[in-house]
Structure 1
Amino acid sequence: MLEKSLNVKSDVVIYDLEDSVPPSPADKDGARRRLKQFLQRADLPEPSRVAVRINDLSTPFFAEDVAEILASSAIQTLVLPKIHSAQDLHHVSRALVTTSLERKSPLKIIPSIESARALWNIGSIASWESEYSVARSGIVSALLFAAEDYCADTSILRSRSRRELLYTRSQIVIAARAFGLEAIDMVCVNYKDLDYLREECEDGRALGFTGKQAIHPTQVDVIQSTFVPTSHEILRAAKIVHAMKAAHASQQGAVGLEGEMIDAPMIKQAEQTLRIAAAAGLEIPTVTTD
């Protein structure tokens, strides 16, 4: 599986030491040792694409994961499972300062939201700042939703409609946006049903998520193609920006466009759409006045 990761085209590859590894000490030690050796390779993905999910801080494996794995400069992102509060992040921060190296750029920390307590404390998790130097202890860069763990903790029964998770997912997005973080949506467990995956991606993007976890390489293309603006959205955004520039030149604060009244909030949305499209390398049409 480690070898296969070299050919995956996802934005980030997460090497998992937690749920994908059996819970025995021998299995955990073996997985950690193999990953440490693998991370020394010269043909790894770019460091910005490499993340590791370590065992949670309540386990006896947490300290060794931090000491052994985070010594690698190839890792720029750390996924932390079962973060329930800001206090948990302080605990992790102290471990990072004690055992990991100082980096040229801060380690990105992604707390995994997977319990009722985590959702209750979502604001303090999203706004967390370390009491130590960020060069040693890292910064929170995103919130990740682990739906299966969350449902197990809350007794929520997950369905194909996702209705029962609407409140939780919306809260995660709002907290992430409030503090300038990315919001990563839940895994689609129906990994062979790509039509349903697309539906779930469209739903997540509409809620404000900026990305989605994949559990199989076949999911990557669908996720990447869905979490970017459509050609229709890009064209509309370009028209809005063009129309508003003309309106402002005429000292107008709003303008009608194709039956809609366009004003300042809508131009902010349009500009964001164009920024995302440009970052994704999508074509942005030139709009002219007829």
Structure 2
Amino acid sequence: MRPDTPHPAPHTAPAGAGRWHTTGDLDAFLSRAGDFLRSRPDLHTVLLTVTDGLRTRGLHAYGDGTPFFGLLEEDGSVRGAYFRTPPHRLYLTPLTVERADSLAAHLEALGRALPGVGAEAGTALAFTEAWRRRTGAVPVPYRSQRLYRLGTLTVPHPVPQGRPRIAEERDRELLARWYGEFSRDIGESEGGRAESWADARLAYGGVTLWEAPDGTPLAMAGLTPPVAGQIRVAPVYTPAPLRGRGYAGAATAEVSRIARERGAAEVLLFTDLANPTSNGLYQRIGYRPVADFAVYDFQGQSSS
């Protein structure tokens, strides 16, 4: 930590629960929590990729609000972490019930209002119950997800007509439009940042298109940058009139191959458990379940 950097503000949790620290300094957070995050790149994939995005694209890459970060220290070791990039929800690493309760106490003491939370399913449930007890906020289930890891890659058959192509600068407008449509489809706001998302992905060849024999783009599948040996497939999108024809599966298989080619030890992706079609597709490609995750919104409390 630089000498002129404010020390993270501590909150002393109940005995045995360790001490939570919070900071707005991304470098300070990563210097203390980096080894912990890299210890489980699968379960920590979101924290790894989001903090990498903030580091490379700036602290307002995901919203106009000021991000904040936190970590739990017990006996000199980091045992948990969180972040929030307003206006988005709080995001947590897996925590025990006791640690989730101590985090709720920590954030309540700081006066943080939260619009929601996302985490491994058991952690998310424990935190929402602790937050409800402490603040009166009502948790509302928003989405249930499953995290998958690629095993043996299998290209789904029949392969649709066409071919894959890594997106180029000439595709920028299309990528931004499709990213906006994808965000609306999943009920999230891209916050007017579709163009910056497209620019960031184009910079490292982070989107592959499946195109028709005549060159018309039909679907896209993206890759996050490699961090801690993991790459996550995201997003996967086919315009509504073109769905059900195998384009997304073909694009996903291709980016999965590219991720392995780029040296990823772990290739990951999330699915919405409410969509049995996509869950079945990814398992046919070779993805195997790692853990379930859950997202909740909080009602009865203003967000900040």
Normalization by structure 1: what TM-score? 0.29
Higher alpha-carbon Rg: 1
More strand by share: 2
More helix by share: 1
